Amino acid sequence: MRNVRSAGLKVPGAVVAAVLLLSSCLKTEEFPVEPKIGFKSYGTFADSASLTISFTDGDGDIGLDQGDTLSPYEPGSTYYHNFFVDYYRRVNGVWMLQEFPLPLYYRVPRITPTGQNKALEGDIAVAIYAAVLPQVPGDTVRFKVRLADRALHMSNEVYSNDIIVP
């Protein structure tokens, strides 16, 4: 009877050892708490375009809820929006910021992971409607993008590729 018990104890011990060994192989992603972004793509459609960036964020505090309208996210403040797109046009070889009555700023919805690891990695795409942009066929344009998280950490700035207006 004694041999049966000791054999029974070895199997669960082997399972626990295997689980510990496998879990040590799983890598937890670690990123800085400031968002980091990279230009991914720009595509055009009949009446709009899609601008896509990739991002990482170490503490998972990207995005705002609709109810996030108190300071510092109140309407009219810098951080009411959290995704900032600036439009540049090349004029005589010099990039000129094009300003609009309504800027190309967006509110990315809240993206919060569950579980212990709060690190986020993904893509954000925004639609830009052609009617908003002053475009002349043959113009060369580009976009500059920044992203702010809920802790008001601002990402790096990235630029799209040069785009020749069709």
Distance CA 45, CA 31 (A): 34
Return the sign of the alpha-carbon dihedral for residues 24, 25, 26, 27.
positive
CB 23 within 8 A of CB 49: no
Q: What is the pTM of this model?
A: 0.80
Let me know if residue 17 belongs to a domain: no
Let me know if residue 3 belongs to a domain: no
CATH number of the domain to which 138 belongs: 2.60.40
Let me know if residue 6 belongs to a domain: no
Q: What is the pLDDT of residues 28-45, one digit of tens each?
A: 678 999 999 999 999 988
Count how many domains the chain has.
1
Let me know if residue 7 belongs to a domain: no
Let me know if residue 4 belongs to a domain: no
Let me know if residue 118 belongs to a domain: yes
Q: What is the pLDDT of residues 102-124, one digit of tens each?
A: 889 999 999 877 777 889 999 99
Q: Which residues pair with 55 in a beta bridge?
A: 37, 122
